[in-house]
Amino acid sequence: LLLITNSEWYYTDAICRHLFDGAEPGLDSWRQVFDLVVVEAKKPRFFKRAHPFQEVVAGAAPGEQGGGSVATPAWGGTYAGGSRAGLMELLDCLGEQVLYVGDHIYGDILSSKRVSTWRTALVVRELEDELVARRELTSQHRHAEVLRSELADFGRRMDDVRDLLLLYRSLAERGELPEDGDVLKRAESYLEEMRREHKVMRLHKNRLQGRISDAINPYWGSVFKQGSNKSLFGSQVDDFACIYTSRVSNLSAYGSHHYFRVLEDPMMHDTLL
């Protein structure tokens, strides 16, 4: 278990002592938790460029490390700087055997994914509140799904009426319209009525979607969705994070050899089957 952070040593040490020291019987020092500590990693540079690891000497003044530099770190050490390439020399394993956990979509997940085969896990703390809100809004979500389906069906019917109206107009221009001259006016009137009804349905759907978004967060709604579509953040999570969770401790519910499998990810034509 490794800790790779952009924070300086004095800050990392203070935070980790507060979080870990004495948290469990026998846990006297937070250094017992991690097999290797890298501070001032300067991510995302850490993933892209070769840079030596500088040993951090205990008791060194803030901003100073006090030790020598090495290309490859050693287990149990504390270092500043470094690079992914040097770390992989120590790990001596395939990239896909490494699970990198981070909470920054660019500095952690996108940057590591673009230059390595590391598996990635994104920590999104907002996920917990969003899941609670979604459970409380189950009926509203189902209603929104029904409205979206009804809007899609209604839109297809409108397309059929538009096609029929175009045919009537073409026949009228050629003088081939049936003797009932009002058929064109009736078709235009019917289409206009459908447009008004469609507008009311869309307004109802948007208001419902707005109430759902406000319940999740009154300022920006869901961080994962924009209406019925993925937000930019949601798309990046889907594209670059192998898994995502609300906190690292959730992984303790799974064994060290657990294999996370993706849910079915259908393409558009799969929905027709």
| Co-location of 68 and 141 in the same domain | no
What does the pLDDT read at residue 260? 87
Task: Looking at the structure, tell me whether residues 145 and 211 fall in a common domain.
Answer: yes
Tell me: do 13 and 71 sit in the same domain. yes
More confident residue, 169 or 48: 48
> Among 54-63, 114-123, 161-170, which is the least confidently predicted range?
54-63
In a domain, 117, yes or no: no
Half-sphere exposure of 155 (CA within 13 A, CB side): 9
In a domain, 25, yes or no: yes
Does residue 255 sit within a domain?
no
Q: Has residue 169 been placed in a domain? A: yes
Residues counted in the chain:
273
Which residue among 92, 109, 141 closes a domain?
92
Tens of pLDDT, residues 189-246 = 899 999 999 999 999 998 888 888 888 888 888 899 887 789 999 999 998 999 999 9
Query: pLDDT grade, residue 63 (50/70/90)?
Result: low
- Structural domain contains residue 267: no
Average pLDDT across the chain, whole number: 88
pLDDT at res. 225: 87
- Both 86 and 137 in a single domain? no
pLDDT at 62: 55
**Is 164 contained in some domain?**
yes
Exposure pattern of 43-75 as b/e (b: 16+ CB <10 Å)?
bbebbbeebbbbbbeeeeeeeebebeeeeebee
How many structural domains are present in the chain?
2
Enclosing domain of residue 44: 2-92
57 with 136, same domain: the answer is no
Question: Does 181 have pLDDT greater than 80?
Answer: no
Statement to judge: residues 25 and 71 lie in one domain: yes
Residue 187 confidence (pLDDT) above 90: no
Q: What is the predicted pLDDT for the residue at 273?
A: 56
Query: Can you tell me the mean pLDDT for 244-271?
Result: 84
d(CA 243, CA 263): 11
Q: How far is CA 69 from CA 53, 77, 78, 84, 114, in A?
A: 5, 12, 11, 15, 27
pLDDT value at residue 100: 94
245 vs 64: which has the higher pLDDT: 245
Q: Are 226 and 206 in contact (CB under 8 A)?
A: no
Higher pLDDT, 170 or 202: 202
- What's residue 51's pLDDT? 93
Q: What pLDDT does residue 60 have?
A: 61
What separation in angstroms does the CA of 53 have from each of 63, 67, 72? 15, 10, 7
- Domain of 42, CATH number, reads 3.40.50.1000
Last residue of a domain, one of 73, 92, 111: 92
Report yes or no on 57 lying in a domain. Answer: yes
Query: Same domain for 84 and 163?
Result: no
Percentage of residues of the chain with pLDDT beyond 90: 53
Same domain, 147 and 200: yes
pLDDT tens column, 67-101: 788 999 999 999 999 999 999 999 999 999 999 99
Is 209 domain-assigned?
Answer: yes
User: What is the average pLDDT across 2-22?
Assistant: 94
Do 70 and 139 fall into the same domain?
Answer: no
Q: Are residues 62 and 133 in the same domain?
A: no
Confidence (pLDDT) at 120: 93
Is the pLDDT at 33 greater than 90, yes or no? yes
